[in-house]
Amino acid sequence: MIETRFYTMQTLPLYINLSRSTIYKMVSKNTIPHIKIGTRTLFDREQIDRWVLNGGRIEDELPQLPKIQ
């Protein structure tokens, strides 16, 4: 498989070994990180890697507040 920054609905199933129908369901439930551009759905490889390592949970990165001294 060619290493790329973004995966499509056709290439992501090969990368994470899930069926396309499963990925469609997860996109519709917003449980997998994705980017919508018009009618296209793209997946950032770095976000998908973090999502897989995080057990399939989307992590919400909150900004860190500066420490008051």
Answer yes or no: is pLDDT of 7 > 90. Answer: yes
For range 15-26, the mean pLDDT: 95
Q: Which helix (H) or strand (E) segment is 36 a member of?
A: strand 35-37
Rounded to an integer, what distance in angstroms lies between the CA atom of residue 34 and that of residue 48?
A: 8
pLDDT (average), residues 61-69: 67
17 has a pLDDT exceeding 80: yes
The answer, yes or no, to whether residue 13 has pLDDT greater than 80, is yes
Q: Provide the token pair at 47.
A: 């976000």
Residue 21 has pLDDT above 60, yes or no: yes
